[in-house]
């Protein structure tokens, strides 16, 4: 079993303020904190695949309509001032290493938020008609910009929380994985399959459900509530102290018999004594003629 620090140790390492969000749930702090980190890592892996898939489709489609790979400098797309600032920052970072600006490096330096905002309604008539054919994994009549934007927006929120090591245990993680699969499906059906079979999110969530079930069964078997009343920590995950003793088995109560009816009073008996002799009838006398 891997080592788990105490709550006091973890509080010193990551600060009390950071753990207050976990304490507010009323659940064991240390296991919840470690589970959050493991789930964040699994989500970040899948988000990375989605980000690369999305930006490559947009880059390929816009480059084909701009006569070159530096589509981000084309004024026909009418990028907002904020988007232009993102492009300037990405170009500066791309030239930092060797002083050469390559379009591929600029695309890699652009943030996930930049690609998300290219899917907004603002670019409904400028960018979306050019990048829509690139999402060939979905039929054209089922291809909706608003649906794709909503999924990418929710993924972006999760991505920012994971990148800043914020709690995500309160979020519907399985629904966010469905959003990632939707984006991958827009790109290609095989891309969706790759993401679904390589993602570790389902494994982490399944292990969490099994752990909760095991603790529930163990608490029922030992007669404990699975939670220490004193320290507010899970008794099953405590690392010190003897295991709680099982309570003595209760005696089974004898089954109550239904009340019996009182015995009926005995009937009256005749007096004992000598029997009277039976009377003999005398034969009828014949009358004289």
Q: pLDDT tens digit string along 87-144?
A: 999 999 998 877 888 999 999 999 999 999 999 999 999 999 999 999 999 999 999 9
Q: Has residue 217 been placed in a domain?
A: yes
Q: Give φ, ψ of 31 to 5 degrees.
A: -60, -35
> Is residue 289, in this structure, part of any structural domain at all?
no
The helix/strand/coil state of 234 is strand
* Number of folded domains that form the chain: 1
Contact between 168 and 40 (Cβ < 8 Å) = yes
Is this model's pTM higher than 0.75 or not? no
Q: What is the pLDDT of residues 9-21, one digit of tens each?
A: 999 999 999 999 9
Please give the residue range of the domain that contains residue 178. Answer: 7-222
Contact 130, 61 (CB under 8 A): yes
- Interval 67-81: pLDDT, tens: 788 999 999 999 999
Q: Is the pLDDT of residue 239 over 90?
A: no
Classify residue 185: in a domain, yes or no: yes
Mean pLDDT value of segment 272-279: 56
Residue 238 lies in a domain: no
Looking at per-residue pLDDT, the higher value among 214 and 242 belongs to 214
Q: Is 103 inside a domain boundary?
A: yes
- Nearest Cα neighbor of 147 from 127, 129, 122, 121 is 121
pLDDT at 228: 40
Is 235 part of a structural domain of the chain? no
Burial zone of 89 (CB within 10 Å; 0-12 exposed, 13-18 middle, 19+ buried): middle
């Amino acid at each position: 079993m891997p080592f788990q620090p105490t709550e006091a140790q973890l509080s010193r390492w990551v600060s009390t303020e950071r753990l207050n969000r976990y304490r507010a749930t009323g659940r064991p702090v240390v296991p919840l904190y470690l589970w959050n980190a493991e789930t964040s890592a699994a989500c970040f892996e899948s988000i990375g695949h989605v980000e690369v898939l999305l930006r490559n489709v947009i880059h390929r489609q816009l480059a084909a309509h701009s006569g070159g790979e530096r589509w981000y400098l084309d004024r026909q797309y009418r990028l907002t001032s904020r988007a232009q600032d993102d492009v300037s920052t990405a170009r500066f970072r791309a030239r930092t290493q060797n002083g050469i600006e390559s379009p591929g490096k600029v695309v890699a330096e652009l943030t996930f938020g930049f690609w998300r905002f290219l899917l907004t309604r603002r670019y409904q008539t400028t960018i979306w008609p050019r990048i829509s054919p690139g999402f060939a994994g979905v039929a054209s009549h089922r291809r909706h910009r608003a649906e794709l934007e909503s999924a990418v927006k929710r993924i972006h929120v999760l991505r920012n929380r994971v990148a800043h090591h914020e709690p995500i245990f309160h979020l519907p993680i399985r629904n966010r994985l469905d959003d990632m699969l939707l984006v991958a499906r827009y790109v290609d059906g095989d891309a969706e399959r790759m993401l679904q079979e390589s993602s570790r999110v389902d494994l982490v969530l399944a292990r969490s459900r099994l752990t909760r079930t095991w603790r529930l069964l163990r608490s029922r078997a030992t007669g404990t509530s699975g939670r220490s009343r004193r320290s507010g920590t899970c008794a099953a995950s405590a690392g010190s102290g003897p295991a709680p003793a099982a309570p003595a088995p209760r005696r089974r109560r004898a089954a109550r018999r239904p009340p019996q009816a009182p015995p009926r009073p005995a009937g009256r008996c005749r007096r004992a004594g000598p029997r009277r002799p039976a009377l003999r009838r005398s034969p009828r006398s014949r009358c004289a003629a």
